[in-house]
A = this chain, B = another copy of it.
């Protein structure tokens, strides 16, 4: 079923687009770095997760059996190695007087709620860092045994110099040079324990005040951040797996350290294709809590914010994100969102019209060629903006067939019905206007009834009643639009 060798993926490791050839035929193992659940998920991270959701959906659409692992980082990890006070969980939990796992639960629930709102599919496995302490201790112990890590004062560090001496090439993903890294490393508390400033923690000794702690061969402590992803990805996907994804900002040091840990332990590259999603800006600037150029996902949906003139439904945000390639920076602004809303409405309207089209004997549109171009776009490293432009070509053909300025055969209408819907709903994960179909059916019934009443009033030349119906509906936020095929309505 799967067309071999048609999909190309940009591999951050080689810096090139490569043919996608899975390690095990018809199966794909994909690992994506998930959220750190110590605060509400950032809109930029949402973009990353929706990018990989689209990639997951397309792989499934192509017929692959995908095992998609996305972790939850719930063990406090250090922003700077060796500075225990920077452990963000502990900070927050002192502040809010919560048990760290209460914070974890609060923000895990929030994260799931936000991603569900944006119609992201759950991964097939969602492992937690705290659920893999035994395995992390085991890997740290193995790396010590192999001479690639060392213990100091109850902490375990990865020995980057030793790793490089063995020709394993630390810095290969981010293309960084170890000498530059050393000279750029700030001198931080606890660095004194390390043989080399670029060494990174596999396990940290817990101070008595540190709440999140586990027994280990080196005393009570907690895992370093990078260790969990190596352990969880290889546990569920094998020592070598197909795709590892994450935000661009994770390339260094996180993914670099993952490679070092895995290559150190298993002697070979852990990942065939490294994929990185680009960042989101707002009004041309980086989003950041400290500058105030910042918005929570829920605020964008509720309209309760200072940046956008109105609320946008989640599908509009998702559509806006997909209008940029996942490897490009995407800027959101009021104008961009308004444009996305219009575009999405036009797309959905096209799909609605499709169901009512009457087939012709000839087509003014080449549906087979169109379909090929849709796949060509997605096969070219998941190029959703090109796919979307193709979908609008289809909408134009549908509208032309509707107004009579073009035509479609029954076969072409079938192709469009199947493929347009499949790309829009399955691959891009967009939802139609609303999902509350029971209520929608009722409102549609009532609206058809009012349109009939208004038509009768017009036939009776009762202009007062006809205008009254239109004006009162307008006041409620429902617009009537008279066209050659009758009257249509739209809910604002």
Contacts and interface: CB of A to CB of B under 8 A. Distances in A.
A126 interface: yes
A453 B99 CA distance: 59
A109 interface: yes
Given A122-B109, A124-B102, A125-B99, A478 B442 contact: yes
Kindly report how many copies of this chain are found in the complex they form together. 2
B491 A473 contact: no
Interface string A103-136: 0111011001000000000111111101101110
A449 B472 contact: yes
A355 interface: no
Nearest to A97: B65
B443 A138 contact: no
A312 interface: no
A127 B212 CA distance: 14
A122 B134 contact: no
A5 interface: no
Contacts of A475: 445
Contacts of A310: none
A476 interface: yes
Interface string A429-442: 00000101001101
Contacts of A67: 99, 102
A404 interface: no
Interface of A, secondary structure class, is helix
Contacts of A214: 134-135
Contact of A105 (B105, B124, B135): B124
A123 B99 contact: no
Contact of A439 (B104, B135, B440, B450): B440
Given A105-B124, A128-B128, A449-B476, A99 B236 contact: yes
Given A101-B125, A112-B112, A450-B450, A442 B134 contact: no
A449 B443 CA distance: 13
Contacts of A476: 442, 445-446, 449
Given A99-B125, A102-B67, A134-B214, A449 B473 contact: yes
A447 interface: yes
A131 B130 contact: yes
Interface residues of A, number: 45
Contact of A102 (B125, B131, B133, B434): B125
A436 B313 CA distance: 13
A389 interface: no
A189 to B, nearest CB: 27
Contacts of A450: 446, 450
A384 B126 CA distance: 37
A477 interface: yes
Interface string A57-75: 0000000000100000000
A168 to B, nearest CB: 26
Residue among A101, A133, A436 having the largest count of chain B Cβ atoms under 10 Å:
A101
A450 B138 CA distance: 71
A125 B102 CA distance: 5
A444 B232 CA distance: 51
A215 interface: yes
Most chain B CB within a 10 A radius of its CB, from A99, A443, A446: A446
Nearest to A128: B131
Contacts of A477: 442, 445
A419 to B, nearest CB: 29
A449 to B, nearest CB: 5
A491 B133 contact: no
Contacts of A125: 99, 101-102, 104-105
Interface of A: 67, 99, 101-102, 104-106, 108-109, 112, 122-128, 130-131, 133-135, 138, 214-215, 236, 434, 436, 439-440, 442-443, 445-447, 449-450, 453, 472-473, 475-478, 491
28 contacts: A99-B125, A99-B236, A101-B127, A102-B124, A102-B125, A104-B125, A105-B125, A108-B126, A109-B122, A112-B112, A128-B128, A128-B131, A130-B131, A134-B214, A436-B436, A436-B439, A439-B491, A442-B443, A442-B478, A442-B491, A443-B446, A445-B475, A445-B476, A445-B477, A446-B447, A446-B450, A446-B476, A446-B478
Given A105-B122, A449-B476, 12 more contacts: A67-B102, A101-B125, A105-B125, A128-B131, A133-B133, A134-B215, A436-B439, A439-B439, A443-B443, A443-B446, A446-B447, A446-B450
